[in-house]
Structure 1
Amino acid sequence: MGPFISVQTDRPDPEILARAADILTAGGCVVIPTLCLYGMAANAFDEDAIRNVFAIKERPLTNPILLLIKDRRAVDELVTEVPPAAEALMKHLWPGKLTLVFKAAPTIPDLITAGTGKVGLRVPSHPVARAVAQAVPFPVTGTSANISKQGGIADVRDLDPRIATGADLVLDAGPLKGGSGSTVVDVTYTPPKILRQGSTPAAAIHAILEKLPSF
């Protein structure tokens, strides 16, 4: 079981972030807070680390895993195309609770895409999650910190023992607001398709897309 370390949301301790970055770089797993729920971060380019996340969560390998990235600039190295609709959504709704699904670059492991050829990306709005993403030179997994098919966790005290035991570090930012996860939009379609309704309202997405010349 990895240690539970309290972390301030508004000012994450650089030493704690460095410790998390070292663990991620070494192929470990870190439980991190996002805006609504706790997630499991691992190096998205390390297949052993990804398999470990799947094993801890008891998640089928046929399910893709979204990635957390540090900023908009990170997108270009991870996808083959950035449609105008994606640019608009990123400009207005990132950082935030919006995951955009792109055509994945060849460098993205099949374990992440589950063989779909697509990858979901998000810039997190929670200060700790974003600081962790910025502390490493690679994207990290953003899957929820729960056993597959169980509900998301808004308080580390509610972590399943299998998650707590499997993680190398748990960053405890206290109780989160809970609720639904991110809204997932596939921007490989024209117009983009909402795959999962989450915290970002569909109306907010449509309002942005309707202003584009091609819509």
Structure 2
Amino acid sequence: MSLDPALLARAVDLLKAGELVALPTETVYGLGADAANPAAVAKIFAAKGRPADHPLIVHLPGDDWLDQWAADIPQAAWDLAEAFWPGPLTLILNKQPWVPDAVTGGQDTVGLRVPGHPVALELLKAFADAGSHGRHAGGIAAPSANRFGRISPTTAAHVQEELGERVPLILDGGPCQVGIESTIIDLSRGRPEILRPGHIGPQRLAEVLGDLPAMHQSQGAPRVSGSLESHYAPVTPVRLLAPERLLDFLTLQRHAGVRCGVLAYDQPAQAGMPHLWRMLPADPAGYAHDLYGALRDLDHQQLGLIVVEAPPASPAWSAVQDRLRRAAA
């Protein structure tokens, strides 16, 4: 997949002018701005309605740009970059002094990744070649292209639905391959620590690091994107239930006259139930890929409640569990 040259040139010109461009990545669609331009970054926060203390992830054209944005880079960062970039892994590292506070939420660290999507990489490389900030070029800050706290977009149509005219240009790269946000690992404080679970799990990281990273217990101000207790949420309330409780709860809702949307991976639709059923794949990668689209679809159906069959309590499902817990918070 490649961008039309005229469309690519327009996207680069908009970014250089301090405007927003929505771009596809393999995880979710991002709302992009020149990460070296604080005024441009401020437009991301305004378009999303995002609090200013929430740090953003800077997307880079390649790992050879890492030391322009990060300082005191440990060997573990280079090893992880070699193993997983381009791909759905964000590294938290000490920032270079010039990196704007608007990007980092005022912290002394910065989140960096190289996305694994051909359209995103084409845009990043063209933007870096344009060199509007000299050696500080090449970075696009791009949180998910949705209103703050809502379901992340996995198609260009979702971005249009969420942000509409707030974005001058939406680049359509097709449906996102992964479907949930990147794994975030902090390498700035000694032992590696996972701040947000994602497609790349602890075991795969351990194969590179030589040891399992710690799992962060969030508290205080957000250090990374997507760390609020309530996030990734539809407007319709979400209830997360253990599989053995699902049918009894839905029966009670039927008797109470409440029509529910149901996300299930194991329990098929039941005869006589008025609820709207959506079956998701029973494997964690397939479930994650379909999750946001299914939540968004049910959110459009004027339901009283979205009921989710809780996935297995295993490390392989940790990223899905994280998104569902925040959606239901």
SS at match of 1:121: strand
- In 2, distance between residues paired with 1:116 and 1:77? 17
From 31, 34, 39, give the equivalent of 2:25.
34
Equivalent in the alignment of 1:197: 197
SS at match of 1:200: coil
Unaligned ranges ≥5, structure 2: 129-136, 212-329
Q: Deviation string for 1:123-153 (max 9, x for gaps)?
A: 0110001111111132001210011110100
Change (3 A) 1:102 1:129: same
Runs of 4 or more above 3 Å deviation: none
- In 1, distance between residues paired with 2:58 and 2:164? 21
From 126, 135, 160, give the equivalent of 2:126.
135
- In 2, distance between residues paired with 1:141 and 1:57? 13
- In 2, distance between residues paired with 1:188 and 1:15? 40
Equivalent in the alignment of 2:96: 105
Question: Which residue identity is paired with 1:173?
Answer: G
Identity of aligned residues (%): 34
Equivalent in the alignment of 2:133: none
Matches within 5 A, 1:149-168: 149-159=149-159, 161=161, 163-168=163-168
Equivalent in the alignment of 1:49: 40
SS at match of 1:89: helix
Equivalent in the alignment of 2:208: 208
Structure number with the bigger relative contact order (C-alpha 8 A, sep ≥ 6) is 1
Question: Which residue identity is paired with 2:67?
Answer: D
TM-score (norm 2): 0.59
Equivalent in the alignment of 1:80: 71
Equivalent in the alignment of 2:287: none
Change (3 A) 1:95 1:177: closer
Question: Which residue identity is paired with 1:116?
Answer: Q
From 111, 116, 126, give the equivalent of 1:120.
111
| Residue-pair matches, total | 202
Larger Rg: 2
- In 2, distance between residues paired with 1:74 and 1:123? 10
Unaligned ranges ≥5, structure 1: 1-9
Q: Displacement, 1:36? A: 2.7
- In 2, distance between residues paired with 1:179 and 1:169? 21
Q: Deviation string for 1:146-183 (max 9, x for gaps)?
A: 11110100122223656221111011123324532100
- In 2, distance between residues paired with 1:132 and 1:104? 23
- In 1, distance between residues paired with 2:52 and 2:79? 32
Matches within 5 A, 1:82-97: 82-97=73-88
Question: Which residue identity is paired with 1:201?
Answer: G
Q: Deviation string for 1:95-117 (max 9, x for gaps)?
A: 10000011011111001111111
Question: Which residue identity is paired with 1:93?
Answer: F
The two structures, once aligned, show a CA RMSD in angstroms of: 1.4
